Amino acid sequence: MEPFLPERARLLMMGSFPPGITRWSMDFYYPNFQNDMWRIIGLIFFNNRHHFIEGKKFNKESIRHFCSEKGIALHDTAAKIIREKGNASDKYLQVVELVDLARLLSKIPLCTHVAVTGLKAAETLLQVLAGKGFEQVVTLPGVGAYSTFYYGTRPMKLYRMPSTSRAYPMALEKKAEYYADLFNRALSGLTPIQW
């Protein structure tokens, strides 16, 4: 999938990799209808977990508009993967090629926050940061916390967020608390989020 990089993006959210296309409810990020990313964002910003849902699908155009308006970019931490079991589980996801993070960040010059959505995405991005173009030792932050790294001279914060997969054992409302804190920090100047 092509990176989604709104010009005014201040936050880059990165997952591990989408499941097989048979599980998609739309052709965009977090497409699996069983994934709660868009329910969490609906709850935080609209006090309605169903805000981005139409029937049994997510509303792609509404999501794209929302992300563009708020300054949220989206991509994966891996460019190529193998799903060893053919399911959506990151446990059986083998990374073949890492994402070119420097290329992404060069296209969104206002971005100062990167959030990884789950442990596999966090571990994969730490490999990217230790590799060519970064050569930095960055520690794995705790859930909801961040570590600092640099893209050239630009200071960046790497947030580790809870997975939005339903397989991750945390209530949707608790995940929303973590994500609300991220959005309030990364998207400065927003109206305070209340729900």
High-pLDDT (> 90) share of the chain, %: 68
Instruction: Assign 97 a pLDDT band (cuts: 50, 70, 90).
Output: confident
**Residue 164, pLDDT above cutoff 80:** yes
pLDDT number for residue 96: 59
Domains and CATH numbers, the chain: 11-185 (3.40.470.10)
**Residue 135, pLDDT above cutoff 70:** yes
**Residue 195, pLDDT above cutoff 50:** no
HSE-CB of 71 using CA atoms within 13 angstroms: 19
Residue 74 · residue 29 · CB < 8 Å: yes
C-alpha separations of 5 from 51, 106, 144 in Å: 22, 10, 23
Instruction: State pLDDT tens for residues 2-21.
Output: 999 999 999 999 987 666 66
Instruction: Assign 94 a pLDDT band (cuts: 50, 70, 90).
Output: low
> pTM score, two decimals?
0.89
**Residue 88, pLDDT above cutoff 60:** no
pLDDT number for residue 93: 59
**Residue 151, pLDDT above cutoff 60:** yes
Q: Alpha-carbon distance 111 to 101, whole Å?
A: 12
Position with higher pLDDT, 178 vs 190: 178
The 10 Å CB-count burial string (b at 16+, else e) for 134-164 is: bebebeebebeebbebebeeeebbbbbbbbb
**Residue 103, pLDDT above cutoff 50:** yes
Instruction: Retrieve residue 143's tokens.
Output: 């859930």
Instruction: Assign 1 a pLDDT band (cuts: 50, 70, 90).
Output: confident
Instruction: State pLDDT tens for residues 16-75.
Output: 766 666 776 899 999 999 999 999 999 999 999 999 999 999 999 999 999 999 999 999
Rounded to an integer, the average pLDDT of 132-150 is 93
pLDDT number for residue 42: 96
Instruction: Assign 156 a pLDDT band (cuts: 50, 70, 90).
Output: very high
